[in-house]
Chain A
Amino acid sequence: GNSVTQMEGPVTLSEEAFLTINCTYTATGYPSLFWYVQYPGEGLQLLLKATKADDKGSNKGFEATYRKETTSFHLEKGSVQVSDSAVYFCALRQMDTGRRALTFGSGTRLQVQP
């Protein structure tokens, strides 16, 4: 079946540091890939997505590239801010089956210190 594996947190960085949160997946066929973010006290919200190999999703300075050869979708940001402190979830959806539910990873907590 489908699965998503994320690096364990928490990840603690100083402001303006470079961020990488690793995500790898297992799926049959051709999934779409997503990053969702949950800020403190709020619901999960879509951060970015990529629907096919070599696509790069980007939003709010975050980027992730769909790498089919390594089955990865690592999240990166060049310079984090305190306001980026949140829990980040990698997810996939199998596009070539009828199953519409997203499969999520376990989440990675990011703490950015001033």
Chain B
Amino acid sequence: GAGVSQSPSNKVTEKGKDVELRCDPISGHTALYWYRQRLGQGLEFLIYFQGNSAPDKSGLPSDRFSAERTGESVSTLTIQRTQQEDSAVYLCASSSGTTNEKLFFGSGTQLSVL
């Protein structure tokens, strides 16, 4: 596609439910990132995928968070047993994976946990 696509754009869920967020990166981009942005705060790194290498999961805040990526395409971020503090915008970005670090961001998924 022309850009990074994320779905859904908005998700409202009840505390304790599981949610899945989807990211379609730019075709051919080997690197994919997930970030979280709480209201009024900066972007918090969650996880990074690069080709077939083991993902960098160092930013995941708890074992309720997990992410997968199928080859060099779609990624899903799963949050189990959601809590109110999980409410945030979840941003996905992709890049060519070279030393050119221009990241292309999606518009994000606004997650609201009631």
B87 contacts A by Cβ under 8 Å: no
CA A102 to CA B94, docked complex, whole Å:
12
Q: What is the number of residues of chain A that contact chain B, defined by CB distance less than 8 Å?
A: 24
Interface residue stretch chosen among A14-22, A76-84, A93-101: A93-101
Expressed in whole angstroms, the minimum distance between the Cβ of A100 and any Cβ of chain B is 6
- Does chain A have a CB within 8 A of B25? no
The 0/1 profile, CB within 8 Å of B marked 1, for residues 87-110 of chain A is 001010100000111111111000
Chain A facing B: main interface SS: strand
Cα–Cα distance between A89 and B91 once the two chains are bound (Å): 14
Q: Does B1 contact A (CB under 8 A)?
A: no
Q: Are B42 and A106 in contact (CB under 8 A)?
A: yes
Does B16 lie at the interface of the complex (its beta carbon under 8 Å from any beta carbon of A)?
A: no
Most buried by B among A4, A46, A93, A103: A46
**A43 and B33 within 8 A (CB):** no
When C-beta atoms are compared, the residue in chain B nearest to A99 turns out to be B56
Q: What 9 new A-B contacts, CB under 8 Å, besides A104-B35, A104-B42?
A: A4-B42, A43-B3, A43-B106, A43-B108, A49-B102, A91-B43, A101-B59, A102-B33, A102-B103
Where the two chains meet, the residues of B that have a C-beta atom closer than 8 Å to any C-beta of A are: 3-4, 31, 33, 35, 40-43, 45, 48, 50, 56, 58-59, 91, 93, 101-108
**26 residue pairs A–B, Cβ–Cβ below 8 Å:** A34-B101, A36-B105, A41-B107, A42-B107, A43-B4, A43-B91, A43-B105, A43-B108, A44-B103, A44-B105, A45-B104, A49-B102, A89-B43, A91-B43, A99-B56, A99-B58, A100-B50, A101-B33, A101-B45, A101-B56, A102-B45, A102-B103, A103-B45, A104-B42, A105-B42, A106-B42
